[in-house]
Amino acid sequence: MRAIFDKKELLVLLQDFYELTGLRTVVFDEWGMDILSYPAELPAFCRLVRSTPEGTQGCRLCDQKACRQAQRERKTLIYPCHAGLIEAITPIQVDGVVVGYLLLSHIVQGADEEAEWRRVLELCRPYGIGETALREAYGQLPRTPYRVLRAAGDLLSFSARALCQARMARLVPGSMQERLTHYVSEHLAEDLSSERICTALGMGRTALYELSKQTYGCGIHEYVRRLRIQSAMQLLTTTKLTNSEICQRIGIADYNYFFRVFRKQTGFTPQAYRRQFGGPET
């Protein structure tokens, strides 16, 4: 059973957090995919890093690694990102289940300005970004002393715990949202046309579209595609199933289509994702 996020209320929280701290806050779902952020636009520094394929992959890898560690440790973590900035992440838990994460991103402490810059320059050198442009973008990032960062991390942790109480993140047994999520999850390996889902839930196509947009922020076909790839991510890291067997499990008959969609959504090929995130048993 998955969480439903009240994005309207969450956005208010993120805006308040930004006003208090000046730090950009991101909400990830349980798979480490960002679903909401404030401010919505990345700072110039991160846009530069992500302008290269290697930088984009580095960001994805860094985010997913942080989510996995926060999921294991169930606490707020403060850590350096792949490009030399500081980030803080905390898990969002509903009824003991980690359903997402809150992240404070793109932080520079400024305690030793020159040493911190040299570290950033060294880590970003493989991305081939011009030093002048990188230095200018780096200078635009807010400086956040460690004591302020620790306080912001504590607030982040309290906010994550309060999301459930404020019903901004919730599991809703018996609701239409939960019925839709349950049905799609249970029948993921089968044909999941709009007609079949409508028949199973006793609703029309328009109602299904509105329910999907309210629950997932996208149409039902996009959600099914996303869920299939998320299921593939789990199977790749927890089983020894072949790619063909995984395609069968998740209801995608065309392997070439699976390969394209998986790489587009995760930034990795299936094989690379298994090598990067799979345990020794896989």
3-state SS string for the chain: CCCEECHHHHHHHHHHHHHHHCCEEEEEECCCCEEEEECCCCCHHHHHHCCCHHHHHHHHHHHHHHHHHHHHHCCCEEEECCCCCEEEEEEEEECCEEEEEEEEEEEECCCCHHHHHHHHHHHHHHHCCCHHHHHHHHHCCCECCHHHHHHHHHHHHHHHHHHHHCCCEECCCCCHHHHHHHHHHHCCCCCCCHHHHHHHHCCCHHHHHHHHHHHHCCCHHHHHHHHHHHHHHHHHHHCCCCHHHHHHHHCCCCHHHHHHHHHHHHCCCHHHHHHHHCCCCC
CATH number of the domain located at residue range(s) 4-170 in this protein? 3.30.450
Q: Is the predicted pLDDT of residue 256 greater than 90, yes or no?
A: yes
User: Span 56-78, mean pLDDT?
Assistant: 91
- Where, residue-wise, is CATH 3.30.450 in the chain? 4-170
User: Span 153-162, mean pLDDT?
Assistant: 91
For 171-210, the pLDDT digits (tens) are 666 778 778 888 998 999 999 999 999 999 999 999 999 9
pTM: 0.68
pLDDT of residue 222: 92
CATH T-level assignment (fold) for domain 176-277:
Arc Repressor Mutant, subunit A (1.10.10)
User: Span 247-258, mean pLDDT?
Assistant: 94
- Where, residue-wise, is CATH 1.10.10.60 in the chain? 176-277
Work out the pLDDT band at 141, boundaries 50, 70, 90: very high
pLDDT of residue 252: 95
